[in-house]
Amino acid sequence: MMSDRTLSWLLAIVGGVVLGLTLVALAALLLWPAGPLRGMISAWRFGSNGEQIYFTGTSQRGTAITAVMQPGMGRMRGSRLTCASCHGADGRGGQVQMMMQVVEIPGIRHETLTGDDHGEDEHRHEPYTEQTIRRAITDGVDPAGEPLDWPMPRWSMADEDLDDLVEFLKTLD
Ligand code: HEC
């Protein structure tokens, strides 16, 4: 027969194991990048999926978003860059210190890209359309088909995520 003492030890051990497993499961739920809890937390933090993509480079759909850095960015590979880290929280661009040089970042609010005076400066091209904005993000070319400068990564994301992102650019003002 088991003594009361052994029994309470056994209960304590089983209790400890159950508690431990519960904590591990909770932590996994919280840390699982595309997990249901993460989705709920970010849906509450960001008003839209496009906004979340802009600020975090992750989709509420759990679909993958990846960026291929151009050769000049060699050493920054793997770091988590988001649209906001270069183009700014307000999408107005500015100057960013990168690879020991100051890089001029253009504004990418929808209004700026599609405005009549866009492309008047050194890079002459037509104003952007919805289609050419998408192409700039994924293929890194301007409306004239000219490649964008090296700091702009080439992005891969699901079509729906790209739709959401372009919609979000319309809300920046
Ligand atoms: C590491 C910095 C960096 C990140 C991250 C970045 N961009 Fe850019 N982006 C640039 C630079 C620099 C240019 C200008 C390139 C040029 O002038 O040739 C640019 C250009 C663009 C253009 C074309 C603007 C124009 O005037 O021709 C669009 C659209 C754009 N980026 C959208 C995005 C979106 C959307 C994201 C996030 C998914 C993003 N960028 C992330 C640096 C960045």
User: Looking at the predicted structure, is the pLDDT value of residue 10 above 80?
Assistant: yes
Ligand 1 centroid–CA 27 distance in Å is 35
Task: Determine the pLDDT at residue 32.
Answer: 72
Q: Does some domain include residue 86? A: yes
**112 Cα nearest atom in ligand 1:** 26
pLDDT per residue as tens digits for the range 38-63: 666 666 789 999 999 999 999 999 99
- Count of the separate structural domains present in the chain: 1
**Which domain range does residue 139 map to?**
47-171
CA-CA-CA-CA dihedral for 47, 23, 28, 36, to nearest 10 = -40
* Residues with a CB atom less than 6 Å from ligand 1: 81, 83, 85-87, 103, 105-106, 108, 113, 133, 136-137, 142, 148-149, 151-153, 155, 165
Task: Determine the pLDDT at residue 51.
Answer: 96
Ligand 1 centroid–CA 106 distance in Å is 7
Q: Does some domain include residue 117? A: yes
Q: Does some domain include residue 82? A: yes
**Of 3-17, 34-48, 150-164, where does mean pLDDT reach its minimum?**
34-48
Task: Determine the pLDDT at residue 4.
Answer: 86
Burial of 158 (0-12, 13-18, 19+ CB in 10 A): middle
Q: What is the C-alpha to C-alpha distance for residues 112 and 106, in angstroms, rounded to an integer? A: 9
Dihedral of alpha carbons 93, 169, 90, 78, sign: negative
Q: Does some domain include residue 109? A: yes
Residue carrying the six token digits 């739709």: 163
Ligand 1 centroid–CA 91 distance in Å is 10
**82 Cα nearest atom in ligand 1:** 5
Ligand 1 centroid–CA 2 distance in Å is 70
Task: Locate 155 and state its tokens.
Answer: 């992005």
Task: Determine the pLDDT at residue 70.
Answer: 76
From first CA to last CA, the distance across the chain in angstroms is 76
Q: Quick one: average pLDDT of 132-155?
A: 95
- The pLDDT confidence band at residue 130, using thresholds 50, 70 and 90, is very high
Ligand 1 centroid–CA 87 distance in Å is 7
Q: What is the C-alpha to C-alpha distance for residues 61 and 64, in angstroms, rounded to an integer? A: 9
Q: Does some domain include residue 114? A: yes
pLDDT per residue as tens digits for the range 54-104: 999 999 999 999 998 877 665 555 557 899 999 999 999 999 988 788 999
Q: Does some domain include residue 33? A: no
Q: Does some domain include residue 71? A: yes
Task: Determine the pLDDT at residue 28.
Answer: 83
**104 Cα nearest atom in ligand 1:** 12
pLDDT over 90 for what percent of the chain? 62
